[in-house]
Amino acid sequence: MDEVTPAEELSFEAARDELEKVVQRLEDGSTSLEEALALWERGEALYRTCRSRLEAAEARIEKLAEALAEPPAPGGAQDSGIGPT
């Protein structure tokens, strides 16, 4: 059997692509029971990796959105006396 990269070492895109292939193989019904179980386990690991990466990206986006929503700090350009009044 080919050496398999641990799911957590894959990029999001690589894990997603492999997960799609796993699902296709499981859906076509041509695998043995043992192979189907191994594919299911691999699919679960790939899913967890994708989910973890998506949650991390969501957290980063929320943090950025919160930073953009904060009012400017006192002493910023508005309070400097520079520009039109």
Task: Residue 45: give the domain boundaries.
Answer: 1-60
Task: Tell me the torsion sign for CA atoms 17, 23, 29, 30.
Answer: positive
Alpha-carbon span 53 to 47, nearest angstrom: 10
pLDDT given at position 1: 43
Check: CB of residue 40 under 8 Å from CB of residue 25: no
d(CA 21, CA 47): 12
In a domain, 77, yes or no: no
- Tell me the pLDDT band of 50, cut-offs 50, 70 and 90: very high
Establish if 35 belongs to a structural domain.
yes
CA-based radius of gyration for the chain: 23
Residue 83 has pLDDT above 60, yes or no: no
Q: What is the predicted pLDDT for the residue at 71?
A: 78
Could you give the number of structural domains in the chain? Answer: 1
